[in-house]
Amino acid sequence: MGPRKNLRVRVVVLVVGCSLILSACTNTRNAPSLTNYSSTVDYGHVTSPSPAEQRATLAGTRAYRTLIVTSAQKFAAASSALLVAAQRGDRTAAKSDYLRAQEGFDAIRAQLNAVTPQPLSMDGRISDFPHWMPPAGLHAIEEDLWGTTGSRLVADAHALASIGAIMVFGLERSIATPNEYLTNAVRMLSWCIAQVIDDPQEQFSHLDLIDLTGTLGAVSAIVAGTVELGNLVNPHLTRTVVADMTQVQVTLRSLGNPAVTTDSQISNAQWRALVSAIDTLQSHLSELAGWLWGFGTGRTYA
């Protein structure tokens, strides 16, 4: 491995290592703001949650942790398989492993981001890297597989696989309150529009539906894990959120098979329908996040 590759692996491991250490001692939110900014939404104030609310809070926090851990495991397994396929020279298998790894990562991105600035070395687009930093991570591999840098594939896959295991370990303790994980979900929705639909992620394969499927699938799991508590606190808003989520999933599925449908095969009208569904969900979900503020401490090992 040349010096450039060594640097690449070191940068990746350093960034991920730091972020995971931080996430292990996670308390991702800032202290409640002291602002007197007046809002027209009258959020509930939780003083003493009922036993049912406590149970539902714990269930939601557990469901979120399960989502993060299983997604990290999926990411780790897919990146190991990707390395094996790359070493075998099997590009077809490597491509499908890449898509699985990307989808797994999409589910954990917001959790990682909540504790450390964007993990550039994991999922930064080639154009996002400053000139002094060698590209690394998923999109370096995407370029190796669909672009012109094929000779770097094994080294790049090696770098990615070497962090998969640490990732699972570090994310084991992803304990978040309902407000925290819903805030992550809201950010994931923003990311879908700003960083995928308006400004594609997959600049070489053009399979951006993969990112949307991974991210929106995770948001869907988060919403499902919130329904029990949401129904106790604001059933009407929760029903609206669930209906919005269904609309997002239906619209997403209508765009085609994410593993083969490229961006240009999707019309502007189709993109806009999806954006509109995501925007609606995002606005209601953030309201629900406000309602669920105060439940859980985020410090219970669920």
Which positions touch other proteins (CB under 8 A)? 27, 29-39, 113, 117-118, 120, 124, 127-131, 179, 183, 186-187, 189-191, 193-195, 197-199, 268, 271-272, 275-276, 279, 282-283, 285-286, 289-290
Q: How many C-beta neighbours within 10 Å does residue 257 have?
A: 10
Shortest distance (Å) from residue 1 CB to other proteins: 25
CA distance 266 to 261: 8
Shortest distance (Å) from residue 80 CB to other proteins: 29
CA distance 107 to 180: 15
Q: Looking at beta carbons only, is 2 or 32 nearer to other proteins? A: 32
> Please, is 60 exposed, middle or buried when counting C-beta atoms within 10 Å of its C-beta (0-12, 13-18, 19+)?
buried
Q: Looking at beta carbons only, is 80 or 234 nearer to other proteins? A: 234
Angle at 289 (CA atoms; ends 275, 238), nearest 5 degrees = 75
Shortest distance (Å) from residue 95 CB to other proteins: 26
Q: Looking at beta carbons only, is 28 or 79 nearer to other proteins? A: 28
The DSSP secondary structure of 216-254, one letter per residue, reads HHHHHHHHHHHHHHHHHH-HHHHHHHHHHHHHHHHHHHT
Q: Looking at beta carbons only, is 39 or 50 nearer to other proteins? A: 39
Shortest distance (Å) from residue 82 CB to other proteins: 25
* C-beta separation of 5 from 155 below 8 A: yes
Q: Looking at beta carbons only, is 62 or 187 nearer to other proteins? A: 187
Q: Looking at beta carbons only, is 148 or 269 nearer to other proteins? A: 269
Shortest distance (Å) from residue 124 CB to other proteins: 7
Shortest distance (Å) from residue 31 CB to other proteins: 4
Q: How many helices (DSSP H) and strands (DSSP E) are in the chain?
A: 10, 0
CA distance 222 to 226: 6
